[in-house]
Structure 1
Amino acid sequence: DVRSFAHTHLGLNDLQAWDVPFASERLKESRYAYSESEVKSYFTVPRVLAGLFQIIETLFDVRICEDRAAVWHPSVQFYQVQRATSAGTQVVAHFYLDLYARPGKRPGAWMDDARARWQRPDLTDQTQTPVAHLVCNFPSPQGERPALLTHSDVITLFHEFGHGLHHMLTQVSELAVSGISGVEWDAVELPSQFMENFCWEWDVVRGMTGHVDTGEPLPRALYDKMLAARNYQSGLATLRQVEFALFDMRLHAQPRAGVDSAHIQRVLDEVRQEVLEAGGSRPALESFKAFRGRAPRMDALLRHQGIVAAQPTP
């Protein structure tokens, strides 16, 4: 499809590897009749952050408040994560939020820990709380106008915050396996990809969008186009991940050189208790089995990627 479209509509008779992303995006725009630039006007950073924080506060019974600390750039924000207890409010974590690109900043998006939860041996009555930093490279605000995000940017932000939750909501106080420490590399993406799913829920999307000029939420018709395009080239995307896994396996095979709301809440409580709070204190497979009550299966992934059809609910 891409080769034919590039030849017919873009005048690219000899499609090269470096042409594929451009041609694929033009084909996507043609097939689904929308573009990321059109969607971008509805996702302002203040609204997206407010929506993200509201989701986290609702799902995981915490509160996120802006705080003060020394930062490495004026655009960096600092927050604390609180949880209500019988004795009052408990601060469980802090995080830095560094959203915008600037000269000299490393490209990409990531979460890393600045400090882990730890029961210090010299202060047995005091637990060190975790601190994370979440870093992205979104375009900066222009003048008085807020920064705008593509839907892909929004997914990236939710993804990285999933990593942050894994680190910040841990209840493990052993430094080597607290939060993200000690979690197997093939399991660290579970919380982050879990959070990505909320970026496709209509109620969530509507609640965190507002046109930069009018304040109107994202139209349902435009959302439906985005949803229709969600699994565009998902087979290729999955194949790319398989390629990474195959490369990793081959590399390391060589010798070393030297439904109801109450039910939903119960499920979310189990996610928090069995996955987020457990951190790296046990194998991720055990955490998954503790949450789902069974071993992982491939069918959900294949349905999620649109590779196999979802079975109708009886």
Structure 2
Amino acid sequence: MTQPILEHDSVAFQAARNAENQLWADFHLKPKTRWFKIAPDDLRVRVLEFGHGDPVLVVPGNTGDPYALAPLLPQLVGYHVFVMARPGGGLSDGFDHEQVDVHNFAVDLFSQIMDKLDLKSAPIIAHSMGAHWATWFALAYPDRVQQLILLGNPGRMLMTKTPTLLKMAMMPGLGKWFMKRQIPKSAKRAWGPLHRMGTDPAAVSALPQSFADCVYAFDHLPNYQLATLSFLRTMNQEKYHNALKESQLRELSVPMTLIWGTNDTFANPELGQEIAAVVQHGELLTVNGAGHEPWIDDPKKVGTIVRLRLKENHLRAAVSQTSANEW
């Protein structure tokens, strides 16, 4: 089988792109869009490029829509930020995750994208299931990942219980019904997903209408349901063996910072404490009252934490280079 492409001249594509452009304008952002074809199927993968400075790779959660990160990106001024829209979301081509070995695909995807961006190594900021994929890559290629900054519950790490919403999505015959209930029927009703993820209502009300327009437009792209359901199944069903277990996380040598909202509806911070205790260089920092996308609740606090970690990373690299030169 071949993977589904996303027609760039379609009405749905244009609507999503226009909504996203307005969102970037509302947050005073001017991204550069780059397109790459990924082997072996020549999937078109979109990367958005922001700012100048030390490079940082950013990986969105869910199926990979960059727009959700709009409140965080202005906090990263002074860095050269590359936001990767994984196949299946973010105007990259569609993707049926059940056609591939997702673990191997994820590791290869990161490798190819970093090669195409001429990034030998970089810090990675990632959200939710994007954080899970980033951790897979860090385990496979620790020399290419300077540090992991993971936002929200990072996918299927040490998680022994599947949240009820995800169980419903994976049950035979209920997947399409689940998606019908989750996809907003209008932009005015597009705030629902944020509320279901534990985001503070006050933070939701502070977002521009263009954010809701993006939720509606991207959720109505033709391959969204296929990408989402196949992604949830491959990442959460036991038969695919894609959970990250304690034995794997103990092998992780890359520093990991977990930034976790106390109202994250997928898992509470206690799980974050367990993860931070298992990895060799782990730390959990919580955002009080925040949901699964903590930068929406408190962009300044999350931005401050992220910048501090990136600055520390830069200093470590400088010290390491000085020591190497002296040797």
Aligning the two structures, in what range does the TM-score lie when normalised by the shorter sequence?
A: under 0.3
Instruction: Give TM-score scaled by structure 1 length.
Output: 0.27
**Structure having the higher Rg:** 1
Instruction: Give TM-score scaled by structure 2 length.
Output: 0.27
